[in-house]
Structure 1
Amino acid sequence: MNRLATLAMAAVAAVTLAACGDSREVGNVGVDWTGNDISIDAVADPEVDGVVCHLAYFNRSFIDRISQGNWFEDPSYSALDCSVTGPIMIGDISTRPGGEEIFKEGRSLIWKSLRVTRVYDAANNSLLYLAHAREIQQGSGKMSLSVIPLAGEQVTWTNGAPTATP
């Protein structure tokens, strides 16, 4: 039993240290007396300079994990808003309808993750950012969308702008 307690304490310490010092985190709002929080991260698009997305998501407390009995999973809910922070420089982005993932963070021990996917809408000359959960079973309908219209912005395409689809 002593060995199990030591292992549990080591695991808690490792998780706590891993959560400290996240350079993406710009805010952390306490929502109740049990220690549940909403974290806010600034997510930069690695292929698009001049755009930043702010992603808010729920972090369950130790007390909530004990009372709910689900130790290894955080909820899938998230909110996303993206904005222009300067001249936009677009690198080598996917123009496929499925877009490409720019951010991923685990929300459970094994299978669930929170992701941000960028989609280019050529017909409307816009970048769409979709925050969504990916789950092995039953998927997830919880999502959030933010749009950056490129018309009227100072935009440079490093590989030339794609043509609009009819």
Structure 2
Amino acid sequence: MRNWRAITVGCVLSLMVVVPAMAEEIGQVSTTFKFLGANDKIVIEAFDDPDISGATCYVSRAKTGGVKGAIGVAEDTSDASISCRQTGPITLPESVASGKDDGKEVFKKSASLLFKKVQVVRFFDKKRSTLVYLTYSDRIIEGSPKNSLSTIVLPQAIQGKGATALGN
């Protein structure tokens, strides 16, 4: 019994560590009127990079309406856009500055009932001292080449451990 509790607590804690950032809905607009169910929409969400305080991204993505959309079984299109900005002092963790975290998933949102996800991954271009965020969608069998990119340029002094970038 004691071992099961330890395993359960360990699993919950490990999930908390690897879960990407949660988004806050900023707003939405309707794009297509539906007689039954919700309208098709573009949803705007914001999330803070979970590893880099002071870095915030805004993602706009399509959300399918209709009856299927209202009950949560519609598949959203792969259309998404991203814009990232420095919203406070940025401290670059060593794992990011060294490139060890390149391609790290920092955001994920379901785009269908089971298999399709909209994701944001982060890279660090050390030569240009720039954080690069890429959004795209994928499915288990077939993904989409549609993508969007945003960057946050950091002062050159950010190259080291624990360095902080003040307002841009």
Is 1:129 the counterpart of 2:133 in the alignment? Answer: yes
Partner SS, residue 86 of structure 1: coil
| Rounded Cα–Cα distance in structure 2 between residues aligned with 1:124 and 1:74 | 35
Q: Root-mean-square deviation (CA), in Å? A: 2.8
Q: Does structure 2 retain, via aligned residues, the 8 Å contact 1:105–1:114?
A: yes
Corresponding position of 2:13: none
| Rounded Cα–Cα distance in structure 1 between residues aligned with 2:102 and 2:158 | 22
Uncovered stretches (5+) of structure 2, i.e. residues with no partner: 1-21
Letter in 2 for 1:125: S
Uncovered stretches (5+) of structure 1, i.e. residues with no partner: 1-21, 162-166
- C-alpha deviation, 1:115, in angstroms: 0.4
Q: Given the alignment, which residue of 129, 150, 153 partners 1:149?
A: 153
Q: Does structure 2 retain, via aligned residues, the 8 Å contact 1:29–1:37?
A: yes
Q: How does 1:41-56 map to 2 (within 5 A)?
A: 41-56=45-60
Provide the aligned length of Structure 1 versus Structure 2: 136
Q: How does 1:70-89 map to 2 (within 5 A)?
A: 71-89=73-91
Q: Once the two structures are aligned, what percentage of the paired residues are identical?
A: 30
Corresponding position of 2:32: 32
TM-score after normalising by structure 2: 0.70
- C-alpha deviation, 1:24, in angstroms: 0.5
Is 1:102 the counterpart of 2:106 in the alignment? Answer: yes
Q: Does structure 2 retain, via aligned residues, the 8 Å contact 1:91–1:158?
A: yes
| Rounded Cα–Cα distance in structure 1 between residues aligned with 2:115 and 2:23 | 24
- C-alpha deviation, 1:158, in angstroms: 5.0
